[in-house]
Amino acid sequence: MGGLDLSDVERIELLRGPQSVYYGSAAAAGVVNIITRKADRTGGHIRTEAGHGAAAALGQSLVTERLRLQFDGSYREDDGYDVSYGDGGDDDGIRRGALALSGEWKAADGLTLGFSIRRAEERAWFDATSGAPDSARTYLRDAPFWSDRAERIDTLWAEASSASGRLTQRLAWEDSRVTLKTHDDYPGRTETRRRAIRSRTTLGLDGAAADASRTIALAFDRIEDDASGSTAYARTTRSAAVEYRAAHENGLDVQLGLRHDDNSDFGGKTTWAAGLSWRIAAGPLRLHASAGTGILNPQSYQLAGGYGAVGNPHLRPEENRSIDMGLEYSLPDGRGLIDVTWFRERLADAIVYSGAPLPDGSNYRNLRGTSRRQGVEIAVRHELTPALTLGAAYTYLDARNPDGTAAVRRPRHELGLNATMQTFAGRGWLSADLRHVTDSRDTEWWHGWGNEKVSRLPAFTVVNLAASYDLDERMRLTARVTNLFDKPYQETWGYGTQGRAAWMGIEQRW
């Protein structure tokens, strides 16, 4: 996701815990749901940005009562930074261009046909590991390596409703291809392809499906995954799922779901998910809880190897079990909330990488036993005034491997603070956020293969700023600064992070 362009993203949703029933069994720990903007009128926009790199985006849409056509194009070049800490080393940046065309046509009452086409190309530069490192500073060496990535995603779909809207059906065909070429010490080329047919049927038990308080949904998928080049495999997965949702007048909401996946390589697996939300006595307190399971099959490079690593064809799927419970309090007049959530996960057969070849000659293996993760999340949002909103989020996480050692790159304490203020009579806004991380561990790889050890990373705090100002109803100025105080920090041993960087932009709509 390093090259993801946010210019046409409407919002990003983070869903906690296994979400297998709707999103597939691989959603074993959660889902990042990226929702792009959908034009609701004829018009367009152009955006440019300059600073630590440059970017541009152009969009145009045609919207009528029965037809919507939308085109979006974007290009971004980030100057990057020297990941290897080298004195005078080259900056490892990224550049990415994308084109997208989508549309939908109301062919008849109750029938809509649609399509989407997306193409993207990306080049990212990176450094190499050193031949004889003795510290985090010397683990990487400056190198002019790069990778080329090409993405192609095509979708055709049809939606139909009947029985006064109580029954809705969606049938979609998807074809996605990703080609990756690396130009480094282990040059290679891998092409992965996924072809899928997905069917979704929703029945409203007490009204139209879109508004019903009780629904039953059925899902059927057939997915073909292929990989060729540096890694190679082919597998087919057939899936069936059912989900029940109910919203009761007493403030109780319930969700229950069951999914079965039949994979050509790993056989049949059944996962489930359950959710509960209860607004206690229609008051300010809401009790919420969820639980579920998920399955994550080994990836192609873990099975077949490539790029200097030896794969392990005997890997088993990872299996995750999760539960969380929380209590939310709504502040008076709807001016904010306080939410406290306890969570616990149990991950069996976690797949890990080993630098030194294992007894079977591979670099990947399943950990024997169960990896345990549990903790508490606290979230606060308060609208102090109509123009000023404050937010805070804190996570305590205890993540351990089956042998009781701390899991790497899982901070025990993470704090986020945010403040957003409207200015200039609502024509502008200013936002500041702070992220503080402490007690995170990572592997020191420079002691030689087989002699690695895990140690604690230094704590760090990063502050970012963003602002915008509307010159008129159709033109907006933007500005942002990341790592405002230019603090050096590490989230994994040996790899540098971005120092202070700034951008300014302008957007015009019509």
Structure-token pair, residue 429: 């806004």
pLDDT greater than 60 at residue 459: yes
207 lies in a domain? no
Long-range contact list for 37-46, CB < 8 A, 24+ apart? 37/8, 37/9, 37/10, 38/10, 38/68, 38/70, 39/63, 39/68, 39/70, 43/509, 43/510, 44/509, 44/510, 45/507, 45/508, 45/509, 45/510, 46/507, 46/508
pLDDT in tens, 165-216: 999 999 999 999 999 999 988 888 889 999 999 999 999 999 999 899 999 9
* Nearest CA among 52, 54, 58 for reference residue 70: 58
206 lies in a domain? no
The DSSP string of 400-459 is: E-TTSPBPTT--SEEEEEEEEEEEGGGTEEEEEEEEEEESEEEEEGGG-TT--EEEEEPP
* Nearest CA among 247, 341, 382 for reference residue 16: 341
399 lies in a domain? yes
User: What is the distance between the alpha carbons of residues 25 and 306, in angstroms, rounded to a whole number?
Assistant: 26
Using the Cα atoms of residue 366, residue 368, residue 369 and residue 371 in order, give the sign of their dihedral.
negative
* Nearest CA among 246, 165, 169 for reference residue 207: 165
User: What is the distance between the alpha carbons of residues 20 and 280, in angstroms, rounded to a whole number?
Assistant: 28
User: What is the distance between the alpha carbons of residues 6 and 91, in angstroms, rounded to a whole number?
Assistant: 23
The DSSP string of 289-316 is: EEEEEEEEPPPHHHHHEETTEE--TTPP
pLDDT at 1: 60
264 lies in a domain? no
Name 372's bridge partners: 346, 400
The H or E element spanning position 243 is strand 233-247
Host domain of residue 456:
369-509
How much is the average pLDDT of 99-125?
A: 95
How much is the average pLDDT of 293-313?
A: 85
Name 258's bridge partners: 242, 272
- Report yes or no: 205 and 179 within 8 Å, Cβ to Cβ: no
210 lies in a domain? no
User: What is the distance between the alpha carbons of residues 122 and 151, in angstroms, rounded to a whole number?
Assistant: 9
pLDDT category, 2, cuts 50, 70, 90? low
- Report yes or no: 133 and 125 within 8 Å, Cβ to Cβ: no
pLDDT at 15: 85
pLDDT at 3: 53
pLDDT category, 8, cuts 50, 70, 90? confident
33 lies in a domain? no
pLDDT at 411: 96
pLDDT at 345: 95
Structure-token pair, residue 336: 């904010």
* Nearest CA among 375, 383, 280 for reference residue 337: 383
Return the percentage of the chain with pLDDT > 70, whole number.
98
135 lies in a domain? no
pLDDT in tens, 21-48: 888 878 888 888 888 888 889 999 999 9
The H or E element spanning position 510 is none
Structure-token pair, residue 160: 């139909």
Which range, 302-306, 356-360, 378-382, has the best average confidence (pLDDT)? 378-382
What is the count of structural domains for the chain?
1
465 lies in a domain? yes
CB count in 10 Å sphere of residue 358:
12
* Nearest CA among 58, 59, 79, 61 for reference residue 70: 61
- Report yes or no: 397 and 375 within 8 Å, Cβ to Cβ: yes
